[in-house]
Each structure stands twice: as C-alpha cells, then as structure tokens.
Structure 1
C-alpha cells in the first residue's frame, strides 16, 4: 500500500485544537418570563395585604395575648392571669348553653339550608318558563342584610301586633298565638327558621349553576338504559354536583358558627341566657360586662372550634366527593 495515501490516527488534543478556533455563539440568559409582571402584582396586592395584616391578623394575635389577662376593655393596665379565663369558660353552664345553641343553629341550618336549596334548585332547573323571575324571587332574601331581615321578623312575630298572631286570632285560633321570641321552649326553633329563610338564596344559585353544567348526554343515556328519576339523580346528577355540596356545606357551617345579628336583634340572648350563641356570648361578656379578657378567651375557643369543625367536615365531604 502506498505510504502517501495512508492516514495516521490523530489524538484527541489535535482534534480539539482544530475545533477550538471555531467561535461558538453564547446564548444570552433569559430573564424570568413573568419577573416584571410578578412585581406589578405584588405592588397591587401589597396595600390590601398591609390593611389585612393591620386590621385582622394583628388584632387576632392580640386577642390571644389578651385572653391570658383580666383586662376589662377600658383600663390602660391589666394583669396576667394565665389560664384562669379558659378554666372559667369551660366550667360555665352559660358558655356550654351557648355552645349547644350554636351547634343547633349552625349545624341544623347548614343541613336544612342545603336540603331545601337543592330541592328548589332541582325544581328551577326543570322550569321552562319565567325562569329569571323565579330565580330572582329565590335570591331576593339574600340581598337583604341579616340585621334588616331580623328587624322585619321581629315586627312580624311581635306578640301584640305582629302579623303572625293577628292572623291566628282572625282565624279563630287565639290559643295558638305565642310569644315567639320570648318563649324559652320555642325561641331556638324560631331562630333556626329565620336563619334558614335568610341564608338560602346563595346556596340555591350555586346548586343551580352546577346542575346546569351536568352533561345532558349522561342523563339521556341513563334514561335510555331504563333508569328512573331517582336513579338518574343518585348515579349521575349527585356525583356531578358533589363539589357544590362540599362548598355549600362548608360555607353554611362557617356562617352558622358565627351567628350574631339575628340573636342581637330578635332576642338579645334572652329570655335570660337561653338563646345566646357563642358569638353573642363573646360580645355580651367582652363589651356588655366589661370582661374583655374572658371574651377574648371565648373568641379563641370559638376560632379553634370553627377551624377544627370546618377542616373535619371539609375532609369528610372531600372523601365523599372522590368516592362519588
């Protein structure tokens, strides 16, 4: 073989020396795509966040600190009392009565409101005429504040000139006339009715919006397979609106735990302390009896109860939602 045509193998260093002169263009480092937009969003959020911290977070932390004192809400000085406020609360029959009323009104209204709202939403979903009118009628009570609605009911249920007792007397049933807001045996039931009447509008519309998002193809397929109305609802509609059930139950429970306006306007916790709720107990003790330290301790207990019950209920509903 001719030596002139033979090639000798080159080392890696020789190959690298030939490639080295070739200029390689450097790719500039890209800045974060949303860097400027992120700072703009932070600038918009910062004022609201500062106000929230000053008006909500800081007072909440101060409430925890005051719960270990004997502050009366007026004096510039107070003494540390440790867990005395908490032990007094837990040993108070009045507090436990408020807890019982809160559970009846809170949990009871949550269940009743969701059941009635779902039934009404199912009826509205099947309407073909005047749907806008009936939706407006259902939602109207939610547009009125709880304070104003409670004031209206206070006049309607007045023993002497209220329309409820007037109608009963005109019908020849004077024995049925009751002091609806002063009878300790029925006052909690009356409050429960008024609360359910006031808070059902939003819940109904949430259910209605979710019902209208259920694919009609699934419903028609179930009917073709021979499923009746109840089976269609239980096997098709109910799993599709499980998320709405979770949201509505959570919102209703939170609203039920902090019921205050209706009690303040209708009964002021009476007769005696019979109709007090936890929120009203905190207000009455802290501002009415000038025991801000004890009221702060009760507020901390209420906060813990709301958090624990809401998390537990939401976790349970989420599991049901996944199983559905």
Structure 2
C-alpha cells in the first residue's frame, strides 16, 4: 500500500470518527450496560444494586404477562408487515397506471406517513371514544346500534383494532418504494408478454413480480422490525389496557422500567426482544434473499 493510499484511509477514518464516537456513546455502550443490568435487581433510581443471576430471565419466561406481550407483538408485527405490504403493493400498482394528476394522488397516499404516530393515535383515540367518538356517533345515526363498541376498552377486540389503526396510518414509504421499483421494470418485457397473449395477471406473476423481489425484501424487513417495536400507538390509545391485554414487548419493557421501577427486569426483557428481532430479521432476510435468487 502506497503512502497516498494510507493517508487517504486515515483521512476517511478521521471523517467518520466523530459519528463513530457518538454511536458508541448513545447506542453500543448503553446496550452493553443494559445486558449487565439484566442480571441485577436495579430499580432505575438507587445508585446500588445486587446481582441476581438469571432470576430476571426465569421470571420473565414463566410470566403469563410476558407471553401475552409476545403474542400481541407477533400479531401486530407480522400482521401489520403482511397487510401493509399487500395494501402498499396494490396502491403502487394503481398509482403506476395513473397518468393524469399522478403527483396529486401520490401525495395523498404518502400524506399519512408525514403525521407522527403520536398525533395520528390521538386523533383516533377521540374518534373511537365510546361516548362521543365519531365512529360510534355515525353508527348510531345510521341505525347500527348493534355495531357500537367500546373499541379501545373491549379486551376481545382491542388488539385487532390496534392492528387496523397501525396499518391505516403506515405504508406511505412502503408504497413509494414499490412504485419506484415498478417504474424501473423494463416496458419491453411487459409489452413482449402482452404480445404473446399473456393476461394482466400472467404479466404481473411472471414479469413484474420477479422484478419486485428486492423491494419486497426491503419493505417486509423494515415493516417487520417496525412492528416488533410498536410503542406510540399503545401508549396513546390504550396504555396497555384494559389491564395488560394490549401490551406489546416494547410497551412491556417501558412499563417495567419506568412505571414499576424494575429497570433490571425490564433490561432482561429488552435483551429478549433484541434476540427475537435479530432472529426473525435474519430468518426473514435469508428467506427473502433466497426468493430473489429463485425469481
């Protein structure tokens, strides 16, 4: 390696050094400290704590509340990832066929993504209020009193209501990624398939869909990771209630660490969540990458 190359490498290293220091300070070091605290009875306030070994992990995996949070996380995470990707792909296909006022329609589709989850959830909280919410008021005026529900207070449906709201407010970025990928599909292939007598479905199945393999991998992985750490909607809409029914893993960790002052116990739950996210992400990526090769 020449002196010029060595100098250039050192220059690149010095350019990234400030960001590397910040990343170590606010991500890596706290993460390692969280692993340490997961083996203690730290309450988040006292300067002293005792090491309790794997007691926190044992208590977590034998807790019904923890497994309920895991179930909700799986429903909201996998469910929202699948539904958002299907809806976004359909919307992208429709937008790709619109030639007049295309910019206007794309803006309309993307707008919900510009609203923070906190604001969107606050709006929905008022709309779904049992006493004066717009949803129940409309149902009553339409003569559908039997459909009136305490949407956020009924333990049997609250998780499914949350799933709907999450899918409704997300998906703008996913749609744009699909749309940009659709516009890069060679039109010569599509036209050749149509000339050979292929139907619209056959063109999509054998030409368009394989070309979307990369964007499907990216979108599904990002949606899945986002689904695992859903927090804002739970905090605003239900607070984990009624009881602990609608808690997710992220909200479970927050409530343990900051609401019940069991930071050590919450750190153990955070470590388990990290392991779950890593495993599912690796498996999903491996499957999706394999599908890209086959496509």
The alignment's TM-score, normalised by the length of structure 1, stands at 0.89
Pair 1:96-2:83 in alignment: no
| Counterparts of residues 109-188 of structure 1 (less than 5 Å) | 109-188=80-159
Q: Which whole-Å deviations, capped at 9, do the CAs of 1:229-272 have from their partners, x for residues lacking one?
A: 11110110011110000000000000000000000000000000
| Counterparts of residues 50-61 of structure 1 (less than 5 Å) | 50-61=21-32
Partner of 1:220: 191
> How many pairs are equivalent?
295
The alignment's TM-score, normalised by the length of structure 2, stands at 0.98
Partner of 2:200: 229
Partner of 1:87: 58
Greater relative contact order structure (CA < 8 Å, 6+ sep): 2
Partner of 1:205: 176
Pair 1:70-2:30 in alignment: no
> Radius of gyration: which is bigger?
1
2: CA distance between counterparts of 1:157 and 1:210?
37
Secondary structure of 2:99 counterpart: coil
Match among 154, 157, 165 for residue 194 of structure 1? 165
Distance apart, 1:33 and its partner CA: 5.0
Distance apart, 1:206 and its partner CA: 0.3
- How big is the alpha-carbon RMSD for the aligned residues of Structure 1 and Structure 2? 1.1
1: CA distance between counterparts of 2:197 and 2:147?
49
**Stretches of structure 1 lacking an aligned partner (at least 5 in a row):** 1-29
Pair 1:291-2:262 in alignment: yes
* More divergent stretch after superposition (166-175 vs 245-254): 166-175
Q: Which whole-Å deviations, capped at 9, do the CAs of 1:182-210 have from their partners, x for residues lacking one?
A: 01111011100111112110100000000
1: CA distance between counterparts of 2:95 and 2:179?
7
Partner of 1:8: none
Match among 106, 111, 118 for residue 77 of structure 2? 106
Partner of 2:222: 251
